[in-house]
Amino acid sequence: MTGAALLAGPDPRDGAEGFAAHTARLGALPSGRHGLIDTLERAGLRGRGGASFPTATKWRSVASRRGDSVVLVNGAEGEPLSQKDRVLMESRPHLILDGAVLAARATGARQIVHYIGAAHAGALAAMRRAINERPDAERRLMRLVEAPQRYVSGEETAAVHFVNDGTALPTALPPRPFERGVSGRPTLVQNVETLAYVALIARHGDAWFRAVGGGGSSGTALVTVSGAVPAASVHEVDGSAVIADAVNLAGGLTSDSDAVLLGGYFGSWVPATRAWALPLDVGALSKRGLSLGSGVIGVLASSDCGVEMSARIAMYLADESSRQCGPCTFGLRAIANAMRRVATMQAGVDDLAHVQRWAGLLPGRGACRHPDGAAIMVRSALQVFADDFSLHVREHRCIVPAAVARAA
């Protein structure tokens, strides 16, 4: 159930593994020039940034473009409930750099841009140090850019946009990054965890990857467990693990819990009764209409009201929207306002129906997937907390009295 692939080796809490130790433990970086993309395809590796897009497909689309390309290493980690990218950057920076170098070789890139959240001081320091430990030939390809602390900063077009001209907002128009990204070159934007796995698959092969997943479809995964646990923490689990295992790794529940937010602010609320037994495996979750997203497991504490939490997240997402497209600027804002009215007992019965309908008008309408992600969270909240929503709008009452004061 616990995996040890990405975080195998020294205790991650001891800080970054240096280049010498890294090389001694895992051996030199294989050339990876030929057949790596095929290996990744056979392995079935998917992106760990949230969208779970097949890695090999993405690499091929960049590799097939003419001219030098660029690899953008995405360590922006703007998702407030996630810490796993930070932990990985702080403890295994060379695994990420290995992956980045392999990606550059496979896609014909002569530039590697490390795009790391400005607020993640530890990760920035570790990555900086690690870059300096790399051989000159590799180091010369690399530069580091601090990503502004904003939810949308990590969206791939926003990342490219920022590196190009300092605006961390998604772009609404083609070309996509794989066509013309950083400096107008085909650009591979890849999450740090995905790249770290590339470094391992290149060494151990695709069969190893499938095996290390403990029967799951996607190797091990880093998850961040937060909420009704002693402290938010990051753990590596394999596909045989269920949510309850992750919660236990984090120290177990500190209170009763009715629901779990799975995948992050763009994820789904799942009733606790169903959640505990859910496997932490991309394939198995997607069959149930769920997504591991960026590996977030947010456990709702009994002292928190699901309605209030959801309203807060909706407000946050509306605030964090780049407010370029109509559906976000007006639609997401309207949803967030209505949910806040519900949470603060100022809503009418109609508001629920409106939120339900508006949430249906968001998916697929924006230039990026911000409204889509918000809609997933909102619709799952309406379903999972249906009774609580009803109590709020009909009786202006909450089962968690303390939450009402907080919401106001």
Partner 1 sequence: MAQKPPTQPDDGHVAVSIDGHETRVPKGTLVLDAAAGLGIHIPIYCAHPKMEPVAVCRMCLVHIERFPKPQPACATVVADGMAVTTDSAEVTKIREGMLEFLLLNHPLDCPVCDRGGECDLQDFTFRYGPSVSRFPITEKVHFNKAVPLSEHIELDQERCILCWRCVRYYDEITGEKEIVLEQRGVQTLVTTFNEQPLRSSFQGNLPEVCPVGALTHRQYRFVSRPWDLQRTAGVCPECSYGCNLNVDSRDFEIRRFASRDNPLVEDMWLCDRGRYSFPKWNSTERVRRPAVRPRAGRARDTAVGEAIAAAANELRAVIDAHSPSAIGVMGSAESTNEELFLLQRLARDVIGTRNIDHQLGSFDGITSEEHALGIAEIEECDALVVLGVEPEEEAPVLTLRLFKAQHKRGRRVHRVARDADPAGVVKAMGATTLTGVIADETNREHAVLVATALARKGAVRRMTVTRGVNGRGAKDLGVLPNVLPGYRAAPPGGKNGREILEAAAAGAIHALLITGPNAALERAGELLDRALQRAESVIVVETRPGKVASAATVLIPGHAIFEKLGTVTNIEGRVQRVRPALPPAAQTPSDTRVLAALAAELGAKGWERSDPMSVNRALREAVPAYAEAGSGGRALWTAERVA
Instruction: Please report, as ranges, the residues that interact with partner 1 according to CB under 8 A.
Output: 172-174, 318-319, 323-327, 329-331, 333-334, 337, 348, 350-351, 354, 358, 361, 364-367
Question: Least distance to partner 1 from the beta carbon of 208, Å?
Answer: 33
| Residue closer to partner 1, measured from CB, 70 or 158 | 158
Give the C-alpha separation, 171 to 156, whole Å: 9
| Residue closer to partner 1, measured from CB, 98 or 351 | 351
Residue 92 φ then ψ, to 5°:
-130, 55
Cβ–Cβ < 8 Å for 90, 161: no
Give the C-alpha separation, 235 to 243, whole Å: 11
SS3 at position 352: helix
Quickly count: other Cβ atoms within 10 Å of residue 168's Cβ: 22
Classify residue 383 as exposed, middle or buried by CB count within 10 Å of its CB (0-12, 13-18, 19+): middle
| Residue closer to partner 1, measured from CB, 78 or 327 | 327
| Residue closer to partner 1, measured from CB, 75 or 327 | 327
- Residue 353 tokens, joined: 């129906």
| Residue closer to partner 1, measured from CB, 298 or 371 | 371
- Residue 88 tokens, joined: 């990985």
Give the C-alpha separation, 307 to 303, whole Å: 12
Question: Least distance to partner 1 from the beta carbon of 218, Å?
Answer: 22
DSSP string, 313-349: HHHHHHHHS---SHIIIIIIHHHHHHHHHHHTT---H
SS3 at position 114: strand
| Residue closer to partner 1, measured from CB, 38 or 319 | 319
Question: Least distance to partner 1 from the beta carbon of 43, Å?
Answer: 25
Measured in whole angstroms, the distance separating CA 185 from the mean position of its chain's CA atoms is 25
Give the C-alpha separation, 192 to 117, whole Å: 12
| Residue closer to partner 1, measured from CB, 230 or 348 | 348
Long-range contacts of 284-293 (CB under 8 A, 24+ apart): 284/216, 284/217, 284/239, 286/52, 290/262, 290/263, 291/50, 291/52, 291/262, 291/263, 291/267, 292/52, 292/221, 292/223, 292/262, 292/263, 293/50, 293/52, 293/79, 293/262, 293/263, 293/264, 293/266, 293/267
Give the C-alpha separation, 86 to 90, whole Å: 6
| Residue closer to partner 1, measured from CB, 38 or 350 | 350
| Residue closer to partner 1, measured from CB, 101 or 359 | 359
| Residue closer to partner 1, measured from CB, 173 or 277 | 173
Question: Least distance to partner 1 from the beta carbon of 315, Å?
Answer: 8
SS3 at position 144: strand
Question: Least distance to partner 1 from the beta carbon of 402, Å?
Answer: 25
Question: Least distance to partner 1 from the beta carbon of 314, Å?
Answer: 12
| DSSP-derived secondary structure letter, 66 | S
Strand order from edge to edge, sheet including 296-299: 233-237, 221-227, 296-299, 259-262, 268-271
Task: Look up tokens 């091929």; give the residue.
Answer: 60
Question: Least distance to partner 1 from the beta carbon of 284, Å?
Answer: 23
SS3 at position 297: strand
| Residue closer to partner 1, measured from CB, 29 or 338 | 338
